[in-house]
């Protein structure tokens, strides 16, 4: 670890030197200033881990120096040195944001303890800040791949929802990115600094569901030796993501509805409810409306969670997202595996575009991971990727449409062969010139197009 830097300010040269010597001996890098002015000047240019300043300085009030230091570096811990008897000032300093104070004279041990504590806290808050920005980086709106118009529209809705506290319900096929969207909403909402707790309702056994979600008090049931916080309480101040809400047992749906409406939970075995401040986001890959009709999902809860319905479209309906997603995953996975792979060969990318992706984005991610593992070249080749799957029903065109497509391609080819000469083209196609003209018009084709292409110099 790099040497930690301490800024010291005192007009008493003797004490300043002594402090510098002691701190240097403790292993710190010390910058000593004899006046408040000088200290503020360095603080503007350099970064410190801690500042120690005398409360009484000749040029400036120590409190003013404290305030100015905090203006420059809001998270800088500042320790104040006070003469015996100036406690009221010290109290005021604490209120103004000082980390703590030391009453002169102080010994080495005392000094060391206070400094270590301040630095440890500083290290921890820096680590939290780092993790926070990492999460933000991962789930910031700009890091969700969304090139297709469908995803652009969804992200606009997401940005809008993030600004509110409304309950959102995200639906979409498996692997489309529902959890990604939930995290994006959380991270970009005012709750972004609070917890994000995700729970898969399909994975909790029914008998444990209630105490997992709402918590229980000590002795609530046999085996409840300790009180346990529920997931709802764990998400206090943040967001609870209830994945696959359709799997929630009916009896608990009532309890959840109550929690949502009253903003409070009653722990199992508790007499009184506890207030909670949680935003709920739910997701489902089932048709909830159908579940309501079948009587397995409560209608009142359905309406309560459908406040903002968001639909993540399947990947096959937003093929524009395939190339950027593929690149995104390639970069991520190749980086993780320390492999130098630059991209996809055109046939490989074409194969990705043609695949049906029943498992959506997750399937694409897995396919690319597999290709990266197997790849021995600096470009991903088509043979490493899933072969074009069976076209889905919605990909097969009606006969008339398919026939039209064929006719158009056929005419283009004939025009090419004939070099744009209509008589020749008519001869090849076995049609009269007038017929051919009619067909070309129907498809918006011009004989000249083929001529130009044929005459064009090679590129």
Ligand X SMILES: Nc1ncnc2c1ncn2[C@@H]1O[C@H](COP(=O)(O)OP(=O)(O)OP(=O)(O)O)[C@@H](O)[C@H]1O
Residues that bind ligand X in the complex, under the rule CB under 6 A: 144-146, 172, 174-180, 243, 285, 328, 361-362, 365
SS (H, E, C) 230-277: CHHHHCCCCEEEEECHHHCCHHHHHHHHHHHHHCEECCECCCCCEECC
Looking at the Cβ atoms of 76 and 184, the one nearer to ligand X is 184
Q: How far is the C-alpha of 162 from the C-alpha of 156, rounded, in Å?
A: 10
Cβ closest to Mg ion, residue 305 vs residue 440: 305
For helices 322-336 and 346-354, what crossing angle results, to 10°? 120
Chain residue at closest Cβ approach to ligand X: 177
Return the H-helix or E-strand segment holding 343.
strand 343-344
Residue with smaller CB distance to ligand X, 35 or 366: 366
Q: Dmax of the chain from CA atoms?
A: 112
Determine the interface stretch with Mg ion among 176-184, 303-311, 360-368, 400-408 (rule: CB under 5 A).
176-184
Minimal distance, residue 135 CB to Mg ion, in Å = 17
**CA atoms of 97 and 99, how far apart (whole Å):** 6
Instruction: Pick what 314 binds: Mg ion, ligand X, none; C-beta below 5 to 8 Å, kind-dependent.
Output: none
In the complex, minimum distance from the CB of residue 296 to ligand X, in angstroms, rounded to a whole number? 19
Smallest distance, Å, CB 327 to ligand X? 11
| From ligand X, Mg ion, none, interface partner of 145 (C-beta below 5 to 8 A by class) | ligand X
281 token code pair:
């986001």
CB of 199 to Mg ion, least distance (A): 11
The CB-nearest residue to Mg ion is 179
**Span of 20-28, 68-76, 178-186, 421-429 interacting with Mg ion by CB under 5 A:** 178-186
DSSP 201: G
Interaction partner, residue 144 (Mg ion, ligand X, none; CB < 5-8 Å by kind): ligand X
CB of 16 to ligand X, least distance (A): 54
Contacted by 174, from ligand X, Mg ion, none: CB < 5 to 8 Å by type: ligand X
Cβ proximity to ligand X, 371 vs 411, nearer residue: 371
**Which listed range, 13-21, 164-172, 177-185, 299-307, lies at the site for Mg ion (CB under 5 A)?**
177-185
Rounded to whole angstroms, the Cα distance separating 64 from 377 reads: 63
Q: Report yes or no: 383 and 375 within 8 Å, Cβ to Cβ.
A: no
Which of Mg ion, ligand X, none lies near 362, with the C-beta cut-off 5 to 8 A by kind?
ligand X
Closest C-alpha to 425, from 443, 407, 413, 441: 413
CB 284, min distance to ligand X, A? 9
From the list Mg ion, ligand X, none, which binds 247 (C-beta under 5 to 8 Å, kind-based)? none
CB closer to ligand X, 146 vs 414:
146
- Using CA atoms, how far residue 190 sits from 132, 165, 206, in Å, is 14, 9, 33
Is the Cβ–Cβ distance between 212 and 197 less than 8 Å?
A: no
Beta carbon nearer to Mg ion, 178 or 304: 178
Q: Which does 285 bind (CB under 5 to 8 A by kind): ligand X, Mg ion, none?
A: ligand X
CA–CA distance, 384 with 363 (Å, rounded to integer): 14
Q: How many CB atoms lie within 10 A of CB 154?
A: 22
Which residues have C-beta within 8 Å of that of residue 440, sequence separation ≥ 6? 411, 415, 446, 447
Nearer to ligand X, 172 or 215 (CB): 172
Residue 69 or 240: which CB sits closer to ligand X? Answer: 240
238 binds, among Mg ion, ligand X, none (CB under 5 to 8 A by kind): none
Least spacing, CB of residue 290 vs Mg ion, in Å: 20
Please write down the long-range contacts of 93-101, taking CB distance under 8 Å and 24 or more positions apart.
93/55, 93/62, 93/63, 93/66, 96/63, 96/66, 96/67, 96/70, 97/66, 97/67, 97/70, 98/66, 99/50, 101/55
Tell me the residue ranges of DSSP E strands in 55-117.
78-82, 100-103
In the complex with ligand X, which residue's Cβ is closer, 118 or 146? 146
Q: Decide whether 156 or 174 has the Cβ nearer to ligand X.
A: 174
How far, in Å, are 31, 90, 115, 121, 404 from residue 108 at the CA level?
A: 18, 21, 11, 20, 90
Cα–Cα distance for residue pair 269/227, rounded to 1 Å = 10
Residue 313: which of Mg ion, ligand X, none does it interact with, CB under 5 to 8 A by kind? none
User: Which position among 49, 54, 179, 210 is part of the footprint of Mg ion (CB under 5 A)?
Assistant: 179
Q: How far is the CB of 188 from Mg ion (least distance, A)?
A: 19
Cβ 45 to ligand X shortest distance, Å = 41
Counting Cβ atoms within 10 Å, is residue 208 exposed (0-12), middle (13-18) or buried (19+)? exposed
Q: Which residues bind Mg ion (CB under 5 A)?
A: 179
């Amino acid at each position: 670890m790099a040497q930690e830097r301490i800024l010291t300010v005192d007009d008493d040269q003797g004490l300043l030197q002594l402090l510098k010597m002691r701190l240097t001996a403790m292993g710190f890098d010390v910058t000593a200033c004899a006046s408040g002015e000088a200290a503020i000047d360095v603080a503007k240019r350099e970064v410190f881990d801690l500042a120690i300043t005398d409360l009484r300085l000749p040029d400036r009030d120590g409190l003013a120096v404290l305030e100015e230091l905090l203006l420059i570096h809001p998270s800088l811990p500042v320790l104040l040195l006070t003469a015996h008897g100036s406690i009221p000032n010290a109290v005021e300093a604490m209120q103004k944001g000082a980390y703590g104070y030391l009453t002169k004279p102080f010994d080495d041990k005392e000094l060391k303890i206070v400094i270590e504590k301040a630095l440890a806290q500083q290290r921890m808050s820096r680590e939290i800040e780092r993790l926070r920005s990492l999460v933000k980086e991962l789930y910031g709106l700009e890091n969700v791949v969304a090139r297709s118009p469908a995803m652009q529209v969804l992200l606009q809705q997401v940005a809008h929802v993030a600004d509110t506290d409304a309950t959102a319900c995200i639906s979409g096929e498996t692997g489309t990115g529902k959890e990604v969207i939930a995290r994006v909403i959380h991270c970009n909402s005012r709750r972004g600094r609070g917890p994000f707790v995700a729970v898969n309702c399909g994975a909790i056994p029914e008998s444990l569901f209630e105490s997992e979600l709402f918590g229980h008090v000590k002795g609530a049931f046999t085996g409840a030796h300790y009180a346990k916080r529920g997931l709802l309480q764990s998400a206090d101040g943040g967001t609870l993501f209830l994945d696959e809400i359709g799997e929630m047992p009916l009896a608990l749906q009532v309890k959840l509805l109550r929690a949502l409406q009253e903003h409070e939970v009653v722990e199992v075995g508790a007499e009184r409810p506890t207030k909670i401040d949680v935003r709920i986001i739910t997701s489902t890959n089932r048709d909830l409306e159908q579940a309501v009709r079948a009587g397995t999902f409560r209608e009142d809860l359905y309406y309560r969670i459908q406040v903002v319905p968001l639909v993540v479209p399947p990947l096959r309906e937003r093929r524009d997202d395939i190339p950027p997603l593929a690149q995104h995953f390639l970069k991520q996975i190749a980086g993780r595996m320390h492999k130098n792979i630059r991209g996809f060969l055109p046939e490989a990318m074409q194969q990705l575009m043609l695949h049906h992706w029943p498992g959506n984005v997750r399937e694409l991610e897995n396919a690319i991971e597999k290709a990266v593992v197997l790849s021995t070249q600096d470009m991903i080749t088509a043979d490493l990727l899933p072969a074009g799957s069976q076209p889905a029903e919605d990909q097969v065109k009606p006969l008339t449409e398919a026939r039209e497509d064929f006719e158009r391609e056929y005419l283009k080819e004939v025009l090419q062969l004939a070099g744009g000469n209509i008589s020749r083209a008519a001869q090849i196609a076995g049609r009269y010139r007038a017929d051919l003209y009619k067909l070309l018009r129907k498809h918006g084709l011009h004989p000249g197009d083929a001529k130009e292409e044929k005459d064009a110099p090679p590129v």
